[in-house]
Structure 1
Amino acid sequence: MTGSQHRARAARTAPPGPPRRATLRLLKQLFTDRLALMGDNAETYGDVVRIAIGPKAMYLVNHPDLAKHVLADNAGNYHKGIGLQEARRALGDGLLTSDGETWRKQRRTIQPVFQPKRISRQAAVVASEVDALIKRLAAHDGPVEILHEMTGLTLGVLGKTLLDAELGGYETLGHSFEAVQDQAMFEAVTLSAVPQWVPLKKQLEFRTARDDLRRIADELVDQRLANPIEGGEDVLSRLIQSGSGDGASRERMRDELITLLLAGHETTASTLGWAFHLIDEHPEVGERLHAEAVEVLGDRLPEHEDLRRLTYTVAVVEEVMRLYPPVWLLPRIAQADDEIGGYHVPAGSDVVVVPYTLHRHPEFWTDPERFDPGRFTAAERPPRYAYLPFGAGPRFCIGNSLGVMEAVFVLALAARDLELHKVPGKVVEPEAMLSLRVRGGLPMTVHPRAGATRKAA
């Protein structure tokens, strides 16, 4: 056999993976512990794994070079996949779920809102919102549900920085998005085998949530149409300017707004929840954060230029996203046959890059389960595609700069002025939905630091 024949034969070979007799165990993990499903198989079978569950086969990719191939080098061959397809029922064809020319047009419309210069001009707004949050937390006598507070903060920041609108009156948003995530993941793990008309509690909650999200999006558009902003640079203004005013245009605006509301608040809120948990588990990190915030900020609010000075705080955010990436799964569907790592991947296959396992790859991370922000202050860093908290390639997260600034400002001001501790007995576990969130919330007690002072926003 010639060398070319040998390579052709190898390229038709399926990757290794669990045997068919493991189907029941895999199904159980798919329903109850998706992180273990990905992690156990990557550890057992290597960097390309074929996981067959019933009629479906999923290809797990767990190496920087291979992630680069799927997300960047051959991105045109990979459309959005499992989970995001199911979420389309609520999100429509927004930026998160669309593909092809539709996605490119949407990206061009919204991209200017996220330009670095514009985001830097929003720093004062973000700092003011964070300052108000810190004051609310300091006023609590008993335990506070920190994830609820982070959701309120991130929605408020999103409204003022990206939409030029107040979202404080839409208290149902967070609950509605939870229902959307629950239903999308339920459909994904059941392979959409349960008809949508079946009146399960989960499905009824989803329908209510979908209607609520559409109502809120329509109200936001109507408010802006009634009160246009001359030369407006926000998302609402740009969507209205790009539309034709017909029914299809109105539906696209709704889809984009619902997507932005979900993606714009959920990922940052989840990151902050994990950050407070990890800082509580590692008090020495909290003390270093406090010392840096006092040194850099004194008693004032942070500014955009402080992101270059709050180096340890930035490193903490980066390490939190390494261990608990808010987007833990990057699902794709192969449009044509491909070769990944020397293995054949047929057209139509579900291909998943999993930042959660990639961020723990022992070849690229020393003692990968350990929380160590110093990894991100060291001179030598891992390969680019070994760390993907915001994805990569053409679909790199459009809001990464705003999300990092918001998280850094929250941790800096919270560490300077407060101490937060989990309530006794609280067990913190991850829940892998569309985002990687803390299961069941995160109640914490809040203790103002002695001598903490702040200037008014």
Structure 2
Amino acid sequence: MAVVSVLVGWSTPVFYFLLFLLFGAFLGYCAYMKYVHLKYDHIPGPPRDSFIFGHIGTFMKLTKNDDKLVFDQFIEWSEKYGPVYKLNFLHTVVICVTCPHATKEILMSPKYTKDKQLHKRIFHLFGERFLGNGLVTVIDHDLWYKHRRIMDPAFSSLFLRGLMGTFNERAEKLMDKLSEEAENQTEVSMLKLVNCVTMDVIAKVAFGVELDLLNKSSPFPRAIETVLLGLIKHARSIFFEHNPKNRAFIKEVREACRLLRTTGAQWINERKKAMQNGENVPKDILTQIIKSAGQEESMTKEDEEVMIDNFVTFFIAGQETTANQLAFCIMELGRNPDVLKRLRQEIDEVIGMKRDVSYDDLGNLTYLSQVLKETLRLYATVPGTNRNISEDIVIDGIHIPGGVTATFSSYVSSRMEKFFKDPLKFDPERFNPDAPKPYYCYYPFSLGPRSCLGLNFAQMEAKVVMAKLIQRFDFTLVPGQSFGIVDTGSLRPKSGVLCTIKHRHSD
């Protein structure tokens, strides 16, 4: 009893002291918030939802709204508030930029690094290491440059020429599958089918592995879809992980991360053994990933993890965005028969009745290049990037104090009337070789030193698949489906592009 009495006696002053500390800390935080507001409130932007939380409430509503993309809201704000405006998230300020001159200055310079806070949120995903310090996410420029320089041979024009056989072979398997569907007269999801093809291609040419997803089941497509959706939830909501309702999904995301990383470790170890045994190995991405870690005998545990980071990065990026571009392209061709007719004429002239598309053919498919570029204008499958602005800068006459994150979105600028007349119209003539080139408002593969290493790889693959598809088949969009977009970390067609397929020369 005596002990209890002492504890009770002490509890009241201790409680009040702790309460005083908490209240003082809260007042201090509010004072800091006021300082941040005063520092940046001269920058235009939408009204804050609250003094402390800023625009978090708005973003939580947007992420729950399946009918509207966050990036469509960005377009509205850009048109209302101008080429640079601010958003508040607690004590953090983010500026959204559509000014072409600032886009050029910031994205083309290595001194503006990727956002450290976002890096932290995608380094691990709900406690599981995800993209880590892979080529896309690493912040340190010197480390990035080291990895990029080692990876370059796997994306040289000479190496890419050698991939034409694989591109044709995998695309041919898709044609066989479509032939079956045409004979059965069934509806097909073109997104699902092209996803299988692009994953088959990246597994074969990057890692030397046969998947044959058009004929075999695999956990990889679902795993990639799951981690990307988890990524977007994790990156955009600080509360998502702490909601008990999300536990089952979070568990699924962690399992998907582990599957991708254990697969990467297995494939890397198998290739390393082959290299150590003096076997001939291709100069593919997997070989370059291993070389990027330096000499095998001196590798640390972190070197091993970075190799897996790069495996996951290339495995996902090498198929997801190309598949989405192909699906959106098929969707727009189905909605624009005049464009499809002109494209078919070009393919007939260049390819004719040939079974395989040659490397030289790709350069002659000029209108197909325009169609693919216009697809990426309307549907930038990776819709945004960001940079740290550590020093003061002036954008469109507005002084921006250092200490903010700047976001850039090709999806946003490419759908603005000020940059593209009638922006929602699908018009490949915008990219006619004689047309003026967009000035730093169209960058679906980003810009500058951190632009996408796989740009040429992706567009070669897309051309081969589209040329074969249009050469041999007619496709009609199933009526009643949505032509909307869903954000799963990259942008996808919401309905999966449902089509009926017919052999081109059938009645």
TM-score, normalised to structure 1's length?
A: 0.90
Identify if the C-alpha distance between structure 1 residues 138 and 70 changes in structure 2 by more than 3 Å, giving closer, same or farther: same
> Among residues 288, 296, 305, which one is paired with 2:360 in the alignment?
305
Q: Cα gap change, 1:347/1:31 in structure 2, threshold over 3 Å: closer, same or farther?
A: farther
> What corresponds to 2:163 in structure 1?
122
Q: Pick from 261, 266, 270 the counterpart of residue 219 of structure 1.
A: 266
Paired position in structure 2 for 1:274: 328
**Does the 8 Å contact 1:84/1:97 carry over to 2?**
yes
Rounded Cα–Cα distance in structure 1 between residues aligned with 2:235 and 2:64 = 10
Q: Which structure has the higher relative contact order (CA within 8 Å, separation 6+)? A: 1
Query: 2:132 and 2:45 mapped to 1: Cα distance?
Result: 34
CA shift at 1:58, angstroms? 2.1
For residues 14-59 of structure 1, the C-alpha deviation after alignment (integer angstroms, 9 at most, x for no partner) is: 4211112484445422543312221110111111011224444321
Match of 1:354 in 2: 409
Among residues 11, 17, 20, which one is paired with 2:48 in the alignment?
20
The answer on 1:294 being equivalent to 2:329 is no
Q: Match for residue 400 of structure 2?
A: 345
User: How many residues get paired?
Assistant: 441
What secondary structure, in the 3-state scheme, does the structure 2 residue paired with 1:20 have? coil
1-structure distance, mates of 2:380, 2:116: 18
Q: Deviations over 1:332-377 (max 9, x none)?
A: 2334443333334344422110101111232321211110011111
Q: Secondary structure at the match of 1:369?
A: coil
Query: In 2, distance between residues paired with 1:215 and 1:354?
Result: 33
Q: Distance in 2 between matches of 1:430 and 1:199?
A: 23
Tell me what 1:234 maps to. Answer: 284
Q: Which moved further from structure 2: 292-301 or 358-367?
A: 358-367
Give 2:372's aligned residue.
317
Distance 2:132 2:371 in 1: 35
Letter in 2 for 1:20: R
Equivalent residue, structure 2, for 1:38: 74
* Counterpart residue number, 2:172: 131
Residue correspondence of structure 1 range 408-419 to structure 2 within 5 A? 408-419=463-474
Unaligned runs of 5+ in 1: 1-10, 453-457
Whole-angstrom CA distance in 1 between matches of 2:63 and 2:267: 37
Q: Distance in 2 between matches of 1:79 and 1:381?
A: 30
Deviation digits for residues 209-229 of structure 1, max 9, x if unmatched? 111101211121122134345
- CA 1:261 to 1:348, structure 2 compared with 1: closer, same or farther past 3 Å? farther
Which residue of the partner structure matches residue 434 of structure 2? 379
Distance 1:233 1:196, change over 3 A: farther
Distance 2:90 2:323 in 1: 35
Moved more, 83-92 or 423-432: 83-92
Distance 1:138 1:265, change over 3 A: same
In the alignment, which residue of structure 1 is the partner of 2:204?
A: 160
CA distance in 2, matches of 1:188, 1:40: 22
Comparing 194-203 with 95-104, which one deviates more in the overlay?
A: 194-203
Residue identity in the other structure for 1:318: K
Amino acid at match of 1:343: I
Aligned to 1:77: 112
Residue 137 of structure 2 is aligned to residue 97 of structure 1? yes
Look up the match of 1:6.
Answer: none
Residue equivalent to 1:145 = 189
Per the alignment, residue 227 of structure 2 pairs with 180
Alignment partner of 1:385: what SS? coil
CA shift, 1:386, in A, is 1.9
- Determine which structure has more spread, i.e. the larger CA radius of gyration: 2
Cα separation, partners in 2 of 1:13 and 1:198, compared to 1, 3 Å: closer
Gaps of 5+ in 2: 1-38, 125-129
Once the 2 structures are TM-superposed, how far is the Cα of residue 241 of structure 1 from its aligned partner? Answer: 3.2
Task: Give me the whole-angstrom Cα distance separating, in 2, the residues matched to 1:28 and 1:429.
Answer: 18
Deviates more, 1:293-302 or 1:167-176: 167-176
Q: Is the 8 A contact 2:334 2:477 kept in 1?
A: yes
How far, CA to CA, are the matches of 2:239 and 2:156 in structure 1? 38
CA 1:249 to 1:256, structure 2 compared with 1: closer, same or farther past 3 Å? same
Q: What SS class does the counterpart of residue 440 from structure 2 fall into? A: helix
Partners of 1:84 and 1:304 lie apart in 2 by 38
The 1:165–1:384 alpha-carbon spacing in structure 2 relative to 1, beyond 3 Å, is farther
Cα distance between partner residues in 2 of 1:82 and 1:149: 36
Aligned AA (1:52): N
**1:87 and 1:180 in contact (8 A); partners too:** no
- The Cα of 1:308 is off from its aligned counterpart by 1.8
Alignment RMSD (CA, Å): 2.4
Give the TM-score, by structure 2 length.
0.81
Q: Distance in 1 between matches of 2:119 and 2:465?
A: 29
- Asked if 1:364 is matched to 2:419, the reply is yes
Secondary structure, in 3 states, of the residue corresponding to 1:78?
Answer: coil
